[in-house]
Structure 1
Amino acid sequence: MKRIFVASRGDPEHMASLFRTQLPEHEVFTQAPQRGDAPVPYIVVGRPAPGLIASVPGLELVLSLNAGIEHLLASGEVPDHLPIVRLVDDGLADGMSDWVLGHALAWHRNLAFYKDLQAKREWSPQPEKLARERIVAVLGAGALGAQAAGHFVRFGFQTRVWSRSCRQVEGAKSFAGRDGLQAAVAGADILVNLLPLTAETANVVNANVLGALAPGALFINGARGGHVVDGDLIAALDGGGLSSAALDVFRTEPLPADDPLWSHPRVLLSPHVAAPTHARTAVAEMAETIRRYERGEKLPHLVDRALGY
C-alpha cells in the first residue's frame, strides 16, 4: 500500500479524507513521518516548513497545492531529481477569473466611483464606455491567464495576451518576449498580471510598463508581489497615470501594517484570496496525477526547473 503525506495547512484532515475516497488503496496521513517509517512516495504541500520535505523517506513525487511553485524551488529543499507537479485545476482557474472579472467590470462601469458619490449624496453621472471600446492586456497565457483572457473576449473587450512562448487565446491578440511587452500593454485600459514568478518575470510591472498604459488605467495583480516594482506602482497612482489598482498579492505577506498600500485611496487590496485552493477539485486533480504516475504515463503540469514553472 503506497503512502500519501498530506502536509497542507488549514484543514489537512479534510483533504486527507478526500484523498481516501479518491484513492482507497493508498494510506493517507497528515502527521510528519518519523525516522524508520515506511517510504512515502507522495507528499502534498503548499508552503512547507523548513526541512519537512527532506525529512520524508522515499519521496518520488511532490504535489503542490499552488499554481505558483517559486517558493519550493527557492528553498532548495526539493532535490533536482524529484519531480514537482504544480496545481492546475478548474476550481483554481474559476476562482481567479471571478476575482479578475469582478474588479475589471466594477471599474469599467464606475461602480466604486458611484459608491463614493453615494456617501456624499452627490448625483453626478459619468461618461460610460462599451466593453468593445476598452483594451485589456493580460500578462500570462497559462491556465489562469488564458481563462481570464477568454472571459474578457466573451465580454467583448479588445483583448491582448503576453507570454513567453506567444500562446494563442481564441479571440485575443498574442504577444511574446521583451520586445512584445510594450506593444502588448500600449494604450491598454486594464492591465492584468497572471504570470508565474521567475527570474525573467520579476519586476516586470515597472515604470516603463505602467507608463505605456492608457491614462487613468486599472492595474489588477493576482499573481505575485515580486512582479511589481512597488515604488513605480505608487508613483503611477499618485501621478494619476493609474486611476486604481486591485492587489491580492504582495512582496511580504501578510502585508506589514505600516505599508503605504493599506491606506492608499486608489488601492483596493485583498489578503491573497483571489484563487484559493478548493479541496474537492484540487484533490481530484492530484489523485488523477498519482494514477497517471503509477501507470507510467506522462504527467501534466510537471515543473520545468529551467523555466521556473
Structure 2
Amino acid sequence: MINILFAGDTAVWDEYAPHLRSAFDALPFNADLSRDHAADQVDYIIFGGGETPLKDFTPFTRAKLVQRLWAGVEDIVGNDTLNMPLARMVGGGLDQGMVEWVTGHVLRHHLGMDAHLNGQDGVWRNDVTPPLSRNRPITILGLGALGQACGTALAALGFPVTGWSRSQKNVPGLRCLCGADGFAAALSTAEILVLLLPKTPATESILDAAALEKLPKGAVVLNPGRGGLIDDQALLQALDNGHIAHATLDTFRIEPLPANDPFWPHPQVTVTPHIASATRPDLAAEVVAENIARGEDGKPFLHLVDRAAGY
C-alpha cells in the first residue's frame, strides 16, 4: 500500500480528491489517499492550496516526493525542512489555459478591440487599421513550459515573437535571447510584452522604471505570471505619462486585489482575477499519478524544482 498525504484546505480537497482517487485506481498498485496519514507512514505528499497547516516536513522520513498542484512554488521552495524532491505542476491544463488567456488579450490589444467595444455611440471609427500580425513584435519574458507554449501559439498566428530567459533556450519559430544584453534587446522591440517568469529574488520587480523605459512608446504590458514581477508604482507612472498604453494584469502582490488599489479605477488598466491559467483537477490528477508511478518504478521524477534557482 502506498500512502499519499493531501496537504491542502477543505475546499481544494473536496475538488481534487475524487479525480485523484480515480487516477490512482489505474495505477498498478494500491494507493491510499488521505489527509490524515501519520507522518512517518507517508510515501508521497500532494501539496495543495489554501492555508495548509503543513510547514514542517521533518517528520516525513519515508516520503519520496512533494508534488505541488500549481506551477508556482514560491511559498514552499525556501522551506528549510523540505529535504526531499519537490515537483511543480506542468500540464494539468495550465498550458492550454495560459495560451488561451494570452492569445485572447494579445489579439484584443493588437486589433484595438476596446475602441469598438466601448464606442457604440453612432461614430464610425475607421480611421485606424491595425497592422498585420507580422508587423506587431511581441516579447515574452520567461521561456518555461508556459512561455514556450504561448510563444509558439502566437508565432503560429504570424506574430514575430522574441523570448527571453535566464539561460539560452532554443524554441523553433521564436527569437530566443538571454542575459542582460538580451533583456534590453527583448524589451526594445516589444509592442506587446507578456510576463511569464517565475517569482524569485532575481525576478522581483524585474519590470521596473528602467525596464519600462526600454519598451517602445505605446507598448502594452500583459502580466499573467506573478505580481511581484512588476514595480507597481513605476508601471502606474509609465501609464500616466503615456509611455505605456495599457496594462492587463492577472496577478498581484496582494490577492484578492484590495478594493482601494489604484489599478482598479485606472482607465488604462484591465484587472482580471488570477484566472489566466488554473490547474484542472482531472488533468492534474493524471500528472500526479504519473509522477507517483515513476517513483514506484524507480524512474526519475518529472518537473523537479531547482531549489537553488527557485523554480
Band of TM-score, shorter chain: over 0.9
**Structure 1: segments with no counterpart, 5+ residues:** none
Cα shift at 1:14: 4.0
Counterpart for residue 114 of structure 1 = 116
**Are the counterparts in 2 of residues 7 and 48 from structure 1 also a CA contact under 8 Å?**
no
**Structure 2: segments with no counterpart, 5+ residues:** none
Q: Select 1:61's aligned residue among 61, 65, 69.
A: 65
Counterpart for residue 22 of structure 2 = 21
Counterpart for residue 252 of structure 2 = 250
What CA distance in whole angstroms lies between the structure 2 residues aligned with 1:216 and 1:6? 47
Deviations 1:65-89 (A, max 9, x none): 1111011124x2x624211100001
**Are the counterparts in 2 of residues 134 and 158 from structure 1 also a CA contact under 8 Å?**
yes
1:191 aligns with 2:193: yes
Instruction: Rate the CA distance shift 1:37–1:306 in 2: closer, same or farther, 3 A.
Output: closer
- Indicate the percent of aligned positions where both proteins have the same amino acid: 37
SS of equivalent to 1:106: helix
Cα shift at 1:37: 6.6
Normalised by the size of structure 1, how large is the TM-score?
0.93
**Are the counterparts in 2 of residues 197 and 227 from structure 1 also a CA contact under 8 Å?**
yes
**Are the counterparts in 2 of residues 203 and 228 from structure 1 also a CA contact under 8 Å?**
yes
| Structure ranking higher on relative contact order (CA contacts 8 Å, 6+ apart) | 2
- The number of equivalent residue pairs is 303
Cα shift at 1:51: 4.3
Normalised by the size of structure 2, how large is the TM-score?
0.92
What CA distance in whole angstroms lies between the structure 1 residues aligned with 2:191 and 2:36? 49
Q: Select 1:70's aligned residue among 67, 71, 74.
A: 74
**Are the counterparts in 2 of residues 5 and 40 from structure 1 also a CA contact under 8 Å?**
yes
What amino acid maps onto 1:121 in structure 2?
G
What CA distance in whole angstroms lies between the structure 1 residues aligned with 2:193 and 2:36? 42
Counterpart for residue 138 of structure 1 = 140
Counterpart for residue 285 of structure 2 = 283
What CA distance in whole angstroms lies between the structure 1 residues aligned with 2:242 and 2:15? 47
**Are the counterparts in 1 of residues 7 and 53 from structure 2 also a CA contact under 8 Å?**
no
What amino acid maps onto 2:112 in structure 1?
N
Cα shift at 1:7: 2.9
Cα shift at 1:167: 0.9
**Are the counterparts in 2 of residues 117 and 123 from structure 1 also a CA contact under 8 Å?**
no
Cα shift at 1:273: 1.0
What CA distance in whole angstroms lies between the structure 1 residues aligned with 2:151 and 2:162? 8
**Are the counterparts in 1 of residues 7 and 52 from structure 2 also a CA contact under 8 Å?**
no
